[in-house]
Amino acid sequence: MNAFWIILTGTLVATSSGLLGAFLLLRKMSMLGDAISHAVLPGIVIAYLVAGSREPLPMLLGAAGFGVLATVLIEMLYRKARLQSDAAIGVTFTGLFALGIILISAFAGQVDLDLDCVLFGEIAYVPIDVWITPSGLNLGPRAVWILGGLLVLLLLLLGLGYKGLVITTFQAEYAAALGVSVSFWHYLLMSAVSVTTVVSFEVVGAMLVVAFMVVPPATAFLLTNKLQHMLALTVLLGLGTALGGYCLAAWLDASIAGAMSVVAGAFFLLALLLAPRTGYRHQLWQR
Amino acid sequence: MNTFLSDPNAQAVVAGVMLLGASAGLTGTFTLVRKRALLGDAIAHAMLPGVCLAFLLTGQKNPAWLLLGALVSGWLSLLSMDFIARHSKLKPDTAIAIVLSTFFGLGIVLLTYIQHSGYGDQAGLDKFLFGKAASLTIQDVLVFGWVAAFIVGVVLVFFRAFRMLAFDFDFAAAAGMPVRLLEFVLATITVLVVATGIQAVGVVLMAALLITPAAAARFWTDRLWSMAGLSALLGSTAGLFGVGISALAPAMPTGPWVVVWLSVAAAVSALAAPRRGILARSALRRRNARKMERENVLKAFYQLQEANPLQLTAFSKEDIQERGYFRYSILRKTLARLRRLGLVEVVSQLRWQLTDKGLGESRRVVRLHRLWELYLSHKLGMADDHIHDSAEAIEHLLTPDMEKRLLEELCYPARDPHQSEIPYDDPLRSQNTAL
């Protein structure tokens, strides 16, 4: 049963992150997910200090706030100070992450946050933390409920905002000419990325969020040219990654989050080498 | 602080972090101008599996083996990113993110595998995640010193070639320069500096040591030499500050404080640097906006004078506002500024008129506007109803030199395409040619 809950959790994270990541990839902002997942750290620590415990809501707010702050800072460095975009991203997320570590060190006595946990979480503890109703009914792991809720919200957002997201992704100028607010969709996507990162982070850590956000969409991108196929493939790959990662971790007795990243990378490598028409094997054949 | 600095271990930490900051700042300059700033981040993360594998293979924490492992896997990550970017339709930033998360995941798998398998001597391997700047030893510092010297040497020898690589890649390749070899050299010093740096500040923050000082230096100069020097200086200064904080408050981690100081330097530079800083840019924008407002109000005066049959020269604010469609608040401020500059004066309580100086200035603006319209119409053959907007913008930008050339090119014309008179300071100027 534990294995089931862990794989389900992994799949939920993979689906939420992957769907957002597909849009990040198409907007050429893959590293932004990485940046935000690091930059939310001070927000989480501050929320922890204010709330005094790991209450999910304050942490969510704190992290979402810093996620958006990071995006604003990056935009400001890029647009107002004309710093090249990769440097703007690098300066912002490392600075905020360093601030987070300093806050953890400064309030070491009051903050029960493990730095290793921040990076690669502890998905293995998911089945232990169950949600029991006052009447004593065991509803299963809390993380599954939270991540499931997040996924429903995201699917709602994607369903309702699909047109806006797609048009601002592929034809930003055309969208602007039609009067669609490009920056509204940008910040909406960024907020969704921040919230997803935070909700997933406690369970799987920042690194796995990044892995799920970038690697399955990139793999799917190599395999198809259609957005809807790409989204569907991303979800399937996420499921496969969660499953394979769990098995690998169980076999090696190693970090599940790490193993899932490795499996995601392995799928990517296969696609890179063997994809029909675009894979490396095909390129060699063409030569 | 004095007792702190007399302690040889503390001296080692100071020297080590400063050397590291300088070499990372120097190397980062070139990765930044090559638009590969985030490469360092991926390389740093990708070194974890190499470190763990080196430990698994040798069974000991010999720094030389661990460093070798880090170098090899850092290199492999670089090759992988290159391969992905070359052989797929993915963009370089996606390639960086993929390699980063996959290699790091592998590193975490190996690290936890080692921890769970109960290897005796494994404690401390995870120092590679967040660094151990506070416990640098004399040996570490010697290594940092050699690395720094090597990097300075490489940069001195290859400076011109690196510059060419960054700014004229295609030209360098076409001119037969060994661009692949040069990229290899640059990549090697990057991998080298990251491999030594992660021991001090850890994989996550290593990127900052490469990116932030170079990004901060970029705001102050356009010359690669001074940028590299400034970046190295910033890197080592931040190193000193970071160690200082840890010395004053022992609970404080060194690496993150180094990064925070670097971020502060970058933020100050982005805001306050002359010319490229945000403040300087917005001041310039404001100056330009004020100049346009002034010139537009002067132009409105001229047009009012020109249009009224009674030869009036003094007008109310409302007249001016109606003529030039100004926002009232802007008109009020602009009039006050023009008055301070001696270009307009108040004749009666509510009426304003141009001074002689102001009249000359307003003539100049109108002249430029009409000259440009004429130029577009006669020399470029544009339709007469399409030229006004362009002239509205360009009248604020034309220099006296350009004005002179336009006048010569158009032979001191008397009227613009809309048959309005082109005003000259010396009324005789336009008499010789009638268009």
Closest partner CB to A261 (pick from B88, B105, B263): B105
CB distance A207–B205 less than 8 Å? no
CB distance A258–B106 less than 8 Å? yes
Distance from CA of A29 to the nearest CA of B (A): 8
CB distance B270–A214 less than 8 Å? no
| The pLDDT of residue B435 is above 80 | no
- Of all residues in chain B, the percent with pLDDT exceeding 90 is 34
Distance from CA of B202 to the nearest CA of A (A): 11
Residue B337 binned pLDDT confidence (cut-offs 50, 70, 90):
very high
Looking at the DSSP assignment, which residues form a beta bridge with residue B351?
A: B316, B348
Higher pLDDT, residue A198 or A214: A214
- Of all residues in chain A, the percent with pLDDT exceeding 70 is 93
Element (H, E) at A130: strand A130-132
- Nearest chain B residue to A34, by CA: B97
Query: Cα–Cα distances in Å, from A226 out to A173, A232, A240, A278?
Result: 21, 10, 21, 14
Interface test with A, best of B34, B53, B99, B109 (most A CBs within 10 A): B109
Write down the pLDDT at residue A151.
92
pLDDT tens, position by position, B35-81 = 888 888 999 999 999 999 998 888 877 778 888 899 999 999 999 99
| The pLDDT of residue B246 is above 90 | no
* Mean pLDDT on B268-273: 92
Give the β-pairing of B314-316 and A130-132: unpaired
Write down the pLDDT at residue A165.
87
Residues of B in contact with A29 (CB under 8 A): 93
Write down the pLDDT at residue A112.
66
Residues of B in contact with A97 (CB under 8 A): 204-205, 256, 259
Name the residue among A144, A121, A141 with its Cα closest to residue A258.
A121
Name the residue among B222, B311, B308, B343 with its Cα closest to residue B273.
B222
Residues of B in contact with A115 (CB under 8 A): 129-130
pLDDT tens, position by position, B154-165 = 988 998 888 888
Q: Which residues contact B123 (CB under 8 A, 6 or more apart)?
A: none
Give the domains, in start order, of chain B with CATH numbers: 2-274 (1.10.3470.10), 280-354 (1.10.10.10), 359-432 (1.10.60.10)
CB distance A115–B255 less than 8 Å? no
CB distance A34–B251 less than 8 Å? no
Cα four-point dihedral sign A125, A127, A128, A130:
positive
Tell me what ipTM this predicted complex has: 0.90
Distance from CA of B246 to the nearest CA of A (A): 11
Quickly list DSSP for A155-185. Answer: HHHHHHHHHHHHHHHH-HHHHHHHT--HHHH
Write down the pLDDT at residue B432.
46
Q: How far is CA A139 from the centre of its chain?
A: 26
| Overall pTM > 0.95 | no
Element (H, E) at A281: helix A280-286
Residues 380 through 409 of chain B touching chain A, CB cutoff 8 Å: none
| The pLDDT of residue B169 is above 80 | yes
CATH topology of domain A2-210: ABC transporter involved in vitamin B12 uptake, BtuC (1.10.3470)
B20 touches B213 (CB < 8 A): no
pLDDT tens, position by position, A1-28 = 788 888 998 899 999 999 999 999 998 8
Name the residue among A167, A265, A218 with its Cα closest to residue B89.
A218
Cα four-point dihedral sign B43, B44, B47, B48:
negative
CB distance A278–B110 less than 8 Å? no
CA distance from start to end of chain B: 83
Write down the pLDDT at residue A35.
86
Higher pLDDT, residue A203 or A175: A175
CB distance A207–B108 less than 8 Å? yes
Write down the pLDDT at residue B429.
57
Write down the pLDDT at residue B111.
87
Kindly list the domain boundaries of chain A, sorted by start residue: 2-210
CB distance A83–B111 less than 8 Å? no
User: B36 CB near a chain A CB, below 8 Å?
Assistant: yes
A234 touches A220 (CB < 8 A): yes
* Mean pLDDT on B180-205: 87
User: B276 CB near a chain A CB, below 8 Å?
Assistant: yes
- CA angle, residues B200, B203, B208, in degrees to nearest 5: 80
Integer Cα distance of B89 and B81 in angstroms: 13
pLDDT tens, position by position, B95-144 = 999 999 999 999 989 988 888 877 666 666 777 777 777 777 788 788 88
- Nearest chain B residue to A82, by CA: B276
CB distance A261–B88 less than 8 Å? no
Residues of A in contact with B125 (CB under 8 A): none
Residues of B in contact with A261 (CB under 8 A): 101-102, 104-106, 108
Interface test with A, best of B31, B77, B112 (most A CBs within 10 A): B112
Distance from CA of A155 to the nearest CA of B (A): 24
What angle, rounded to 10 degrees, do the helices at A227-252 and B92-116 form? 20
